[in-house]
Structure 1
Amino acid sequence: MLLMDLSLLLSLQPAAAQTSRGAPNVKAATSEGSAKPADTKKPAQSISLSGLLAAQRMTLRLKNQAALRRKARARTPNRKPITIINEQVPAGSANPAQRFPYSTAKKLIQEFLTAKLRNVTYDPSTSADLTKNLCEDIKKIVRRVTPPRYKLICNTAIGSKNQEDVLVTSQCLWDSYSDNVTSCSFQNPTMFCVVTVYAVYFE
């Protein structure tokens, strides 16, 4: 048993280490009277400890890479995307052939406010009449791009531009499949103006 452990230990160490330590070579036993030449087997190749450690590190790295690939495939299932062909409109909702172009209306209102109020100075005594005139003019401009059977409601707020902040909000109940709204604002050194236009479909 001791001889087997010693031979195993010597096979794991490099050849240079074996010669430096002076370990005896084990030869096959021959009979005294035989004239056969000695058994010339090639010595077993030595395995270095650093090589074993490098092989273990490489195996562990490959296992980790394979595990990461499996996790990535599990996160992204191979499902086909869902496409909605036609929007389902409720039975009680209106379904106009042409919807209100709110982005085009917003662009027209913004250009009109810039041209109309660029050089206007805020005056509390004339702001009421200015608000009414702006509403009528804006409705005429937006009516050019509004599809048939739409009613327009214009709400305009004008105020003095001082250090305080102003928040303008609105709320209404309507049919989201046919009705729409657009809003824009303008300000100059002395005043601000907020315009909201509602487009309500009438059957």
Structure 2
Amino acid sequence: MDFADDAAKYSVEDVDTIVKNAIAGCLTDVTYNAKKVTDWTNHIVDNCLRELQSLNKPFKYIITCIIMQKNGAGLNTSATMFWDPEKDNYCQVPWENQNMHCIVTVYGCAVNIDNTHELD
């Protein structure tokens, strides 16, 4: 598969849509409940991964999900990457309602397909 081909590129737009749908499907019309946060984060991450895999793109995905109650406290996140900027990428989707914040980040690391060799 040639990375010049759009089918093999990380599409931030596709990932953004997948993440927004996963968040909306889980957190729409809910009130923050600390006892449910683990289930919510797992649900969001699992749904994102399932949909990303269905795209059949040559990527390994790393997904993080943060859910935090809105209580006036600050939240800072930071990430750094050492990767191929021509092939790898990420998408971060912030979401909030009246009582919570959610931030989902999806990193896409291209599977090294440039060095594949046919066996003789």
Q: Give me the TM-score of the superposition, normalised by structure 1.
A: 0.49
Paired AA for residue 142 in structure 1: L
Q: Looking at CA atoms only, which structure, 1 or 2, has the larger radius of gyration? A: 1
- Following superposition, the deviation at residue 152 of structure 1 comes to 1.0
CA distance, structure 2, for counterparts of residue 128 and residue 112 of structure 1: 15
Q: Kindly indicate whether structure 1 or structure 2 has the higher relative contact order, using CA contacts under 8 Å at least 6 residues apart.
A: 2
Normalized per residue, the structure richer in helix is: 1
Aligned AA for 1:105?
V
Contact 2:26 2:40 in 1 (8 A): no
Q: How far is the alpha carbon of 1:183 from its aligned partner?
A: 1.0
Distance 2:27 2:102 in 1: 9
Give, in whole Å, the separation in 1 of the partners of 2:46 and 2:68. 19
What amino acid sits opposite 2:35 in the alignment? S
CA separation in 2, counterparts of 1:195 and 1:146?
21
Q: Is the 8 A contact 2:27 2:40 kept in 1?
A: no
- Contact conserved, 1:159 with 1:191, CA < 8 A, in 2? yes
Match of 2:86 in 1: 177
Which runs of 5 or more residues in structure 2 are unaligned? 113-120
- Secondary structure, in 3 states, of the residue corresponding to 1:125? helix
Measure how far apart 1:141 and its partner are. Answer: 1.8
Of 55, 68, 83, the residue aligned with 1:145 is 55
Task: Determine which structure has the larger strand proportion and give its number.
Answer: 2
1:192 lines up with 2:96 in the alignment: no
What is aligned with 1:24?
none
Measured on the aligned residues, the alpha-carbon RMSD in Å equals 1.7
Contact 1:101 1:145 in 2 (8 A): no
Number of residues of Structure 1 aligned to a counterpart in Structure 2: 108
